[in-house]
Amino acid sequence: MADEKTTNTKSKGKIGLGVLAAVVVLGGVYVGVSMSGRAITASASDGRFVQVIENNGCLACHSSEPETAWYEALPGVSGMMEKDKDNAYKFIDLQTIVDKVNAGEMIDAPSVSKIEQATKNNSMPLTNYATVHPGSSLNAEEQGILLGWVKERRTAQVQAFAEQYGMELDDAALEKAVSEPVMVLPEPGYGVDMDMAMLGLDVYHDTRLSGDNTLACASCHQLSHGGEDGTAHARGITGSLGGVSAPTVYNSVFNVLQFWDGRADHLQAQAAGPPTNPIEMGSETWDDIVKRLKEDPEMVQRFDKVFGSSGITEENITAAIAEFEKLLITPNSPFDKYLMGDEGAISAEAAQGYDLFKKYYCATCHTGASMGGQSFELLGTVTDAAQYFEERGYEAFEADDGRFAQTEDENDRYRFKVPNLRNVELTDPYFHDGSQLSLQQAVRTMFKYQTDHPNPTDDEVNKIVEFLMAQTGENEYMTYDFYPSNNLYPEYKTEASDTEN
Ligand code: HEC
Ligand code: HEC
Ligand code: HEC
């Protein structure tokens, strides 16, 4: 299943020159496709946003099925336009956003951050397109409309988030949260049923969830090991290796969907998977698990206390685990303190690293309080994924399909849930395939495949790494050194340290 697409290395300048040449050939013909109807009439900021997007030709490229204009068939134009459209859709699907705005739905944080960044940098529409579509570039008023919309949308996001997690934001904190792509993490515990969560903590470490009593959730998601296992491919029952690296459970409560491919809607649904997955915990059925736990009078009593008469069931076991996972938020990192106004909380290099993180669009995907987990993004927006797999040393296989595995939409192949970057210094190796052994390597690979600055200097990489090291937060379970009694953890540890250099 090797990728058949050709390499799409970003080369704005070249594409632009090509189309310019076409303009010369065609003379004034392009007047016919110039932008018209630019008057902005609706007063609501949503309406004006949609008008700007529609009037400025943004949808000519940013849609899964962009319309084809007659002139695209002309020599020199076809092909280039195709490529632009193909590339544009990899970054953002503005048609879907317009539809959602029209339907009054929430817009995901990464899309808002992307629109903010592209508007601030005045990078859209592409120069070549603007040249042949007079009036399609954003004027100051239109930029103001887009940025005003961004502000309104982010305010709504931040307020909903603050309410959900019990954060009290004064005016200054709200202003800060709205003006930055990353916001502080809340304290854990708000709205959590502590009895249920403490039961969940124990179930999370209970090897009776596995078929042969060797593995617990904590075997692969060690709380004192960044919430994962330090290996590239988690080792399940009987030592079978899975195809992907275990993501951290810390801050996973913020993910829009769970798993690299988003196949579980929320934490409770996620927790139902591993226990009966033959290569993970390998229990035959949930009934077997329930039966094993019911043999333990103390467990029966504890479930009765929390859940009343329903007692031990799959539903209640997974609910308890999910409740516990809500406690795994890691606030008060040096960077959070910096965001809250303590300028000395991080080094000057780390602060510069944050600026670079924004400058090179990293913060458009790694956005929000957990710096990720909000969207599925293509691995290889700028440099093609095929090259990534080639460099990795083994061909793409099923586990590399990403979101495609769930949607079967070819546009979703190699799209992965953006990992959250909180505590990232603790969660090596990196990426869905665990192929990136150090933060330096992961950052360089990101530059190459996701940005138009493929060859960062050592200084840039080091500053960003410094910034990422300032993401390590606090949580009482980060020192919870409890290994399920008879699991294979020591073996994992050896493996982890083997891959570390
Ligand atoms: C001719 C095709 C084309 C048109 C028209 C166009 N874009 Fe783009 N857009 C692209 C391409 C290609 C990219 C990928 C990045 C790049 O090449 O700079 C992109 C990237 C983006 C991004 C993502 C930036 C990032 O790196 O995350 C946003 C947001 C965006 N465009 C918004 C717009 C808006 C708003 C308009 C209308 C004002 C627009 N685009 C018009 C082709 C287009
Ligand atoms: C054998 C190792 C293993 C065990 C045991 C295990 N997991 Fe996982 N976990 C993984 C792997 C690997 C993934 C990623 C799988 C994927 O995305 O396809 C994952 C994904 C997750 C995620 C999704 C996080 C995200 O960012 O998408 C959560 C949450 C999670 N596991 C919690 C649990 C819980 C709770 C249990 C116990 C019921 C458990 N895991 C048992 C290896 C394991
Ligand atoms: C277009 C969206 C996008 C942009 C832009 C982006 N990333 Fe990523 N990032 C991802 C995705 C998707 C992954 C997961 C890739 C995988 O698992 O194969 C990732 C993974 C990472 C990881 C590894 C985290 C882990 O736990 O595995 C780091 C570190 C990282 N990115 C940093 C950066 C930096 C620094 C930049 C800017 C230079 C950046 N990213 C730009 C989408 C993006």
Q: What is the pLDDT of residues 414-446, one digit of tens each?
A: 999 999 999 999 999 999 999 999 999 999 999
> Which atom of ligand 3 is found nearest the CA of 443?
35
Closest-approaching ligand to the CA atom of 438: 3
> Residues 163-213: pLDDT tens digits?
999 999 999 999 999 999 999 999 999 999 999 999 999 999 999 999 988
Q: Which of 365, 439, 464 to mutate to test the pocket of ligand 3 (most atoms within 8 A of CB)?
A: 365
Which protein residue has the closest C-alpha to ligand 3 atom 3?
Answer: 365
Dist CA 315 CA 404 (whole Å): 28
The mean pLDDT value for 365-391 works out to: 95
Check residue 235 and give its pLDDT: 79
Q: C-alpha angle 308/312/318, rounded to 5°?
A: 105
Calculate how far, in angstroms, residue 324's C-alpha sits from the geometric centre of ligand 3. Answer: 27
Q: Name the amino acid, one letter, at 38.
A: R
Check residue 484 and give its pLDDT: 57
Check residue 82 and give its pLDDT: 80
Cα dihedral 249/219/261/1 (nearest 10):
150
Dist CA 96 CA 87 (whole Å): 16
Dist CA 466 CA 488 (whole Å): 33
320 falls in which pLDDT band (50, 70, 90)? Answer: very high
Cα dihedral 226/417/163/368 (nearest 10):
80
The mean pLDDT value for 248-269 works out to: 96
First and final CA of the chain: distance in angstroms?
Answer: 31
Calculate how far, in angstroms, residue 274's C-alpha sits from the geometric centre of ligand 2. Answer: 7
359 falls in which pLDDT band (50, 70, 90)? Answer: very high
Q: Which residues form the pocket of ligand 3, taking CB atoms under 6 Å from any ligand atom? A: 357, 360-362, 364-366, 377, 379, 381, 416, 418-419, 421, 424, 427, 430-432, 439, 442-443, 446-447, 450-451, 464
Q: Is 236 left (phi over 0), alpha (psi -120 to 50) or beta?
A: beta
- 362: its two tokens: 């990293």
The mean pLDDT value for 119-146 works out to: 90
Dist CA 202 CA 484 (whole Å): 10
Q: Is the peptide bond before 456 cis (omega within 30 degrees of 0)?
A: no
**Contact indicator for 392, 430 with CB cutoff of 8 Å:** no
Is the per-residue pLDDT at 281 higher than 80?
yes
Q: C-alpha angle 251/370/164, rounded to 5°?
A: 75
The mean pLDDT value for 95-117 works out to: 93
Nearest to 230 by CA among 28, 484, 498, 7: 498
Percent of the chain past pLDDT 70, that is, above it, reads: 87
Calculate how far, in angstroms, residue 46's C-alpha sits from the geometric centre of ligand 2. Answer: 39
Q: Which residues form the pocket of ligand 2, taking CB atoms under 6 Å from any ligand atom? A: 209, 215, 217, 219-221, 234, 236, 242, 244, 246-247, 249, 252, 255, 258-260, 267, 270-271, 274-275, 280-281, 321, 417
CA 242 to centroid of chain Cα atoms: 21
> Residues 25-60: pLDDT tens digits?
232 222 222 233 333 333 378 999 999 999 999 998
Closest-approaching ligand to the CA atom of 484: 2
**Contact indicator for 312, 298 with CB cutoff of 8 Å:** no
Calculate how far, in angstroms, residue 428's C-alpha sits from the geometric centre of ligand 3. Answer: 13
